[in-house]
Amino acid sequence: MSLTTRLTLLFALVSVAVFASLGFLIKHSMEEHFVAQDFAELDDKIRTTANLLNSLKTGESPPSIHEVMKNTVVDHDSIIIKIDTSSGGQLFASGPIAFPFDKTQLLNKPGQIQRAAWNEGDIRYRGAAMALEGRDSSRHLILSAAIETTRHRVFMQQFAKELSGLMLTATLFSALLGWLVARQGLAPLRLMRAKAKSVTATRLDQRLPVDTIPVELASLAQELNRMFDRLEESFTRLTHFSSDIAHELRTPISNLMTQTQVSLSRARSAEEYQDILASNVEELEKLSRMISDMLFLAKAEHGLQLPSRQRFPLEVEVAKLLEFYEALADEKQVHMQLQGSGELSGDRLMIDRAISNLLSNALRHTPEGGLVDLYIERGIDALTLTICNDGNTIPAQDLPYLFDRFYRCDQARGHNESEGTGLGLSITRAIVHAHGGKVTVKSANNRTCFTLSFPH
């Protein structure tokens, strides 16, 4: 069910509840008004009759009372009046109605009007009665008046039908207005849908308008725009990755094909075939490393799990790696030195691989006679390892992309066939993130520093 339909139904339900409550209050108020009006009229008839009886001479006979009441009081067809004596006699009655009043209570409170409502068959009556004092208790009179409420019931039934029809019409009209209001109010959502629909692989720069939509939807639009930013960035990186991997795989495969075709162009000696196969093995090993690294990064993207975790002195592992790269450093006359110490909790082999990638890059880009410094520092919240090397300064615009796959800074660092697969820094970042840490890089004044930070 759409939001417009839901809001329309809710608006209609609220309208029904409001109109029903209003109709009930109106009906109840009118019924109370009729009750008050009937009893006021009955009270007036009782008091008028009492005044008329008091004005008659004491010695007048009952027939004269009957004659006066018939000619002067009974002028309302809907009101029935009855005059009884305290001893049970009846002086006057304009209709055959049995009044339900208690004679004893009336006589105990003369001059006080009592009210009652009762049914006789299907007819509803309202009545009032009062005891009128005489010279002695045997001459007390009881005045009673009753009115039939059929006309009120008929009127209320007709009024209820008309009111129900009016409420139904008002509810339908309110539902229509609610639909129009809901549709107009949800117009920004349709605009957002149209904008989101326009986002395609070739139009990832489309964004939702934030300034032209209500504040309730502005935060949603901002989050969607941030999502589009992430999608655009990821899609751009994926596009670059696809072109980069095609370029990286093309070179070794082209070398393999060229060497194989050349070797098959004519008969060669066993030594020549052996050299060609050895060259092909090197290219195949490079392809194998690249595929292994890509598989490692694919696992890292889906949450890299540490094979094992143990505490070990980080300076010992770094010293082993420095010893491993000592021959390469001596060949380039590069001096390496380590300062500091600290214990690290993690997977030893993965940490070795991350540091080895950084050391390999540092030695590759450090000029002859340069210096590679390693610092281990124990902070309050983390253990850091910083690897700094001399060399060309990396441009600031390249620093955010250093850890992307196959990214190389050609202006700052030469690109040649002896370089690795271009995945070393990406793997290093994945390993550090798997340990809950982060890796940063700074480059200035012909010196570049990579910092690995591992939380305690």
Compute the C-alpha angle 404/367/329, nearest 5°: 90
pLDDT at 39: 92
Strands (E), 314-418: 335-339, 343-346, 371-378, 382-390
- Tally Cβ neighbours within 10 Å of residue 208: 23
- Tally Cβ neighbours within 10 Å of residue 109: 11
| The residue to which tokens 């409502």 are assigned | 117
Asked if residues 406 and 237 have their Cβ atoms less than 8 Å apart, the reply is: no
pLDDT at 178: 86
d(CA 237, CA 233): 6
Contacts of 290 (CB under 8 A, 6+ apart): 248, 249, 421, 423
Q: Exposed (0-12), middle (13-18) or buried (19+): which is 2, by Cβ within 10 Å?
A: exposed
| The residue to which tokens 């539902």 are assigned | 175
Residue type, 300: A
Task: List the pLDDT tens digit at each of the 456 positions of the chain.
Answer: 777 888 888 888 888 899 889 989 998 999 999 999 999 999 988 888 888 887 765 544 544 666 666 665 555 567 888 888 888 788 888 878 888 888 888 888 888 999 999 988 888 899 999 998 876 656 788 889 999 888 888 888 898 899 889 888 988 898 898 888 888 888 888 888 887 787 777 777 788 778 777 777 788 888 888 888 888 887 877 776 676 667 667 777 887 888 888 888 888 888 888 888 888 888 788 778 777 767 766 666 666 667 778 899 999 999 999 999 898 899 889 999 999 989 998 888 888 888 988 999 899 889 998 999 999 998 888 899 999 999 888 888 888 878 877 766 654 343 444 455 677 788 888 888 888 889 999 998 889 999 999 988
d(CA 377, CA 342): 7
d(CA 171, CA 319): 84
Residue type, 73: V
DSSP helix/strand/coil, 124: strand
Compute the C-alpha angle 94/97/103, nearest 5°: 100
pLDDT at 400: 83
d(CA 41, CA 79): 9
pLDDT at 401: 78
pLDDT at 416: 47
Asked if residues 73 and 85 have their Cβ atoms less than 8 Å apart, the reply is: no
| The residue to which tokens 């983390």 are assigned | 382
d(CA 29, CA 33): 6
d(CA 313, CA 376): 11
**Long-range residue pairs from 145-148, CB within 8 A, at least 24 positions apart, any chain:** 145/42, 145/45, 145/46, 145/49, 145/79, 145/80, 145/81, 145/82, 146/42, 146/79, 146/80, 146/82, 146/95, 146/97, 146/99, 147/38, 147/41, 147/42, 147/78, 147/79, 147/80, 148/78, 148/123, 148/124
Residue in 350, 436, 445, 430 with CA at minimum distance from that of residue 393: 445
**Long-range residue pairs from 282-290, CB within 8 A, at least 24 positions apart, any chain:** 283/252, 283/253, 283/255, 283/256, 284/252, 284/256, 286/252, 286/421, 287/249, 287/252, 287/253, 289/420, 289/421, 290/248, 290/249, 290/421, 290/423
Is beta strand 335-339 parallel, antiparallel or unpaired with respect to 141-148?
Answer: unpaired
